[in-house]
Amino acid sequence: DQAPVLTIDGPGGAGKGTISRLVAERLGWHLLDSGALYRLTAEAAARHAVALDDAEGLAALAASLDVEFLVEDGEPRVLLEGQDVTRAIRTEQAGDRASQVAALNPVREALLARQRDFATPPGLVADGRDMGTVVFPAAPLKIFLTASAEERARRRHLQLQESGTTASLSSLLKEIQARDARDMQRSVAPLKPADDAITLDSTRLTIPEVVDRLTQLLAQRG
């Protein structure tokens, strides 16, 4: 893969998704939402009645995922086996199931080549947990984007309110902390900054401020 890669790793809710999308748009680069692949594997498991602890069955699903990422009227959409699952894979429950599936090494192995295939010219912004440590270890710029768990719960709460759903702030905070713990403590590809990553704490930064910072860093490196 000759194309330059910008990796953006960090815990859920730090704003990686939005920021990766905006940076990719600004640069005209491709975007890899690696979390979506784990969410889609979990969704496929539900559809095919594969248990969430059946590592080999899940790896087979992951290796043969029939997925399409589209943009329609400026809105990203995801199709699994031809069906729109854009919203279904974004629920808290789907995220929780994804993190169970993601703890299984055969699943991670099965998704590795698929993720690397995204690195094509003019470049790739790769969003996830192990983009800088495992999937693209040679990336010229690696960012570890964090925010306090309280701030991430607050942002998620706002997001849910805007979409007309309600959830208590305290239950969101608990879910976020549980998912962080699972992602950081697992034995395969745990969530941690790469040795050569730059850590950026977005707790007190706006989205445009983070996007500016990242494009500046990239300009300095390029």
Annotated binding-site ranges for ATP:
10-18
CA separation for the pair 11, 97 (Å, rounded): 16
b/e 67-76 (16+ beta carbons within 10 angstroms → b): beeeeeeeee
Kindly tell me which of 199 and 216 has the beta carbon lying closer to ligand C5P.
199
- Chain residues 110-169 in contact with ligand C5P, contact rule CB under 6 A: 128-130
7 binds ligand C5P (CB under 6 A): no
Q: What string marks each residue from 16 to 45 as x (binds ligand C5P by CB under 6 A) or -?
A: ------------------xx--xx------
Question: Which CB contacts under 8 angstroms, 24+ apart, belong to 97-100?
Answer: 97/39, 97/42, 97/43, 97/45, 97/46, 97/52, 98/35, 98/38, 98/39, 98/41, 98/42, 99/38, 99/179, 99/182, 99/183, 100/42, 100/52, 100/53, 100/182
Which residue stretch of 19-27, 96-104, 165-173, 192-200 sits at the interface with ligand C5P (rule: CB under 6 A)? 96-104
Binding string, residues 52-91; x marks residues near ligand C5P by CB under 6 A: ----------------------------------------
Please give the residue ranges that form the binding site for ligand C5P (CB under 6 A): 12, 34-35, 38-39, 95, 98-99, 102, 128-130, 179, 183
